[in-house]
Amino acid sequence: MGLAGEATDGEVVRAVLGGEVERYAVLVHRYRDRYARYAARMLGSRDAGEDAVQDALVRAFDRLADCREPAKFAGWLFLILRNRCFAERRRRQREGRPLDERDDGVAGADRPDGTLEQTERMRALERSLAHLTPEQRDVFVLKHVEGLAYEEIAARTGATVASLKMRMHRAYDRLRDLMKEHL
């Protein structure tokens, strides 16, 4: 058994469930940034993503006894975060506010690595992503932002590869329509 920071997820989860509440900080530190980009791209801003990650980590603690496979804490936490992002997106759609108004997307306005045209295209894509369904945006972010293969997304989400492809292909068509002035 090594230092707390080197303990496996399973060991930490069991320790927390055994009453060592402070050990949960290991999991917070380990996973706070891993899914930050996913959450930010799902919700359109870093701030909204941070709120979602924070909420997911608290919910995971509250429901830790339900984590049947402590060694797979990371995947379980991701599903909690994903559900949180879906719920937030649906709430905003009901309110007619698909994009976080505090921050016009996460694409920077003055990126040093791109032309003005490229930067504008990135921002247009970010705005367009806000018009996809949560399910379409989810698969788009996981594949094209996180770089996962369909099979990896299927393993992570429980969906079939065929259904993921169908969602993605509909997203491509929708994005082409939304982005036609920028392509």
Partner 1 sequence: MSLGYHPLVKQLLDGELSLADLPLELRAEGAEALRLIGAVDRTSVVLSPALDDRVMAVVRRHAGSPARRAWHWLAAPRDVELRLRLRPVVWAGALAIAAGVALLLLARTPVATPVPASVARGGARDSVFVRFVLYAPGARHVAVAGTFNQWDLNAAPLARAGSSGVWSTTLALPVGQHQYAFVVDGERWVADPAAPAIDDGFGRRNSMVAVTARGAHTL
In what helix (H) or strand (E) does residue 125 lie, and over which residues does it extend?
helix 116-129
CB atoms within 10 A of CB 96: 6
CB-wise, 61 or 101, nearer to partner 1? Answer: 61
Q: 122 is written with which tokens?
A: 């990135």
Quick one: which segment of 4-12, 70-78, 92-100, 139-147 binds partner 1 (CB under 8 A)?
139-147
CB-wise, 93 or 163, nearer to partner 1? Answer: 163
Rg (CA), the chain: 18
Does position 21 bind partner 1 by CB under 8 A?
A: yes
Does position 106 bind partner 1 by CB under 8 A?
A: yes
Instruction: Please choose, from the candidates 92, 72, 69, 87, the residue with its C-alpha nearest in 3D space to the C-alpha of residue 31.
Output: 72
Does position 14 bind partner 1 by CB under 8 A?
A: no
The C-alpha angle with vertex 22 and arms to 83 and 58, in degrees rounded to 5, equals 15
Residue 42 CB, shortest distance to partner 1, in Å, is 11
Does position 72 bind partner 1 by CB under 8 A?
A: no
Residue 128 CB, shortest distance to partner 1, in Å, is 9
